[in-house]
Amino acid sequence: MKPVEIKDNVFWVGAIDWNERDFHNFLTRRGLTYNSYLIMDEKITLIDTVKHKFVKESMERIKKVVDPSEIDYVVVNHIEPDHSSGLPDTMKIAKNATILCSQRAKDGICKYYDCEGWDIRVVKGGDEVKIGKRTLTFIDMTMLHWPDSMATYLKEDKLLFSNDAFGQHIASEERFDEELGLEEAISWTKLYYANILMPLAGLIKKKLSEIQSSGLEIEMIAPSHGVIWKNPGRIVEAYSKWANFESGNKVVVVFDTMWHSTEKLAEAIADGAGSEGAEVRLFHIRKDPWADIVTEILDAKAVAIGSPTIHNGLFPPVAGFLTYLKGLKPQNKKGLAFGSYGWNGNAVKEIQKILEELKFETLEPLMVKFRPTEEELQKAFELGAELAR
């Protein structure tokens, strides 16, 4: 349980959760990390805590640098329990520490936990706290992604503790992007962004613009999950593309099926899109992780969604997926609703309505009664080709 020195006298002292496989219905197939950072200066500072059951692991790392009872400041960038649930046990050890957080974070901390006796100091965006040779500068991150969120910048080291921004859900012994592999790190970050931060694209664009116009120099980004970015420019560039919904020539076809009729339509649509040279992704809603599906939707130009009709409405797995997708608010897409039915085509009508609510530019929906004929499969093929064009 060694700490990792990421800058001179700045240490990663977090925890690795190898076994977690679910985060808010987001499949974390490679587990996740809870990153906490220790700054050794005249005032010993801990940036964020870890999930409660990993406090012991984190403390063992801290003990290899300093007695945890000597911690002077605990910065709480965000109060979601994957970060803050270790705070009560941390404060039992660092009894004299002052907590630095936003006003909303203070309110939330005292709702989640018994904060009686804790010294909590509220800071705002732009505030600075000297901890010796170094300076902590706080950056307002309201609604990125909770109302209480902020980031902390270590001015002299040009190091941004970004909390959830730029993070990934992946458990690994590698602490840096270069060690994991830069492209792999970006891939895991894309998965995280698509499933957690996609609906905040407008706020993300605004915040990226603010940081760039402020002239803030960033040599390293240390998020609260996943690897640390020694190449901050690369991930900031990727975030900018995702926030602007920049897309490749890709068509994503998503479906579920009862007796394979909707499946046949999905395959024909995918074949049609591929015939026009598009990159194609085909997903079965009950067999493929929703997190993977929306990650592909993030930078796709077109999305086709299919469902059979059951009980005069959507097949339940499709209804669940569409609820998930609506919450993530993908933008700048073309869409196609399709499916088979026996008595009416209400499922396709409901998909069409949701695509319109998402402001997708839609093609005429495709509804097929019972098993599709060769002519109807040809129609599906042509619609796929039209989507690709």
- For residues 189-195, give the mean pLDDT: 95
When the pLDDT of each residue in the chain is averaged and rounded to a whole number, the result is 95
- For residues 6-31, give the mean pLDDT: 91
- Shared-domain flag, residues 231 and 276: no
- Shared-domain flag, residues 223 and 266: no
Domain boundary residue, one of 208, 243, 278: 243
Domain boundary residue, one of 243, 263, 292: 243
- For residues 366-370, give the mean pLDDT: 93
Does position 213 have pLDDT exceeding 80, yes or no? Answer: yes
pLDDT band at 20 (very low <50, low <70, confident <90, very high): confident
Strand arrangement of the beta sheet that strand 4-7 belongs to: 4-7, 10-12, 37-39, 45-47, 73-75, 98-101, 119-122
Beta strand extents in 240-376 (DSSP E only): 250-255, 279-284, 302-306, 309-310, 313-314, 334-341, 361-362, 366-369
Cβ–Cβ under 8 Å, residues 151 and 77: yes
- Shared-domain flag, residues 71 and 47: yes
Predicted local confidence at residue 72, as pLDDT: 98
- Shared-domain flag, residues 158 and 224: yes
- Shared-domain flag, residues 236 and 281: no
What percentage of the chain exceeds 70 in pLDDT? 100
pLDDT band at 21 (very low <50, low <70, confident <90, very high): confident
**What does the DSSP 8-state code read for residue 188?**
H
Cβ–Cβ under 8 Å, residues 263 and 163: no
Predicted local confidence at residue 139, as pLDDT: 95
- Shared-domain flag, residues 279 and 236: no
Q: Which residues are catalytic?
A: 24, 78, 80, 82, 145, 164, 192, 225
Predicted local confidence at residue 384, as pLDDT: 97
Count of structural domains within the chain: 2
- Shared-domain flag, residues 198 and 274: no
Does position 1 have pLDDT exceeding 80, yes or no? Answer: no
| pTM, rounded to two decimals | 0.93
- Shared-domain flag, residues 258 and 377: yes
Supply the CATH number for residue 264's domain: 3.40.50.360
- Shared-domain flag, residues 238 and 257: no
Structural domain containing residue 36? 4-243
Does position 280 have pLDDT exceeding 80, yes or no? Answer: yes
pLDDT in tens, 46-81: 999 999 999 999 999 999 999 999 999 999 999 998
- Shared-domain flag, residues 136 and 262: no
Predicted local confidence at residue 345, as pLDDT: 82
Amino acid at 116: E
Domain boundary residue, one of 187, 211, 243: 243
pLDDT in tens, 281-339: 999 999 999 999 999 999 999 999 999 998 988 999 999 999 999 999 999 999 999 99
- Shared-domain flag, residues 227 and 310: no
Rama region for 149: left / alpha / beta (φ>0; ψ in -120 to 50; rest): beta
pLDDT in tens, 136-167: 999 999 888 889 999 999 999 999 999 999 99
- Shared-domain flag, residues 111 and 77: yes
Distance in angstroms (rounded) separating the CA atoms of residues 387 and 23? 33
Supply the CATH number for residue 144's domain: 3.60.15.10
DSSP of 40-97: -SSS-EEE----GGGHHHHHHHHHTTS-GGG--EEE-S--SHHHHTTHHHHHHHSTTP
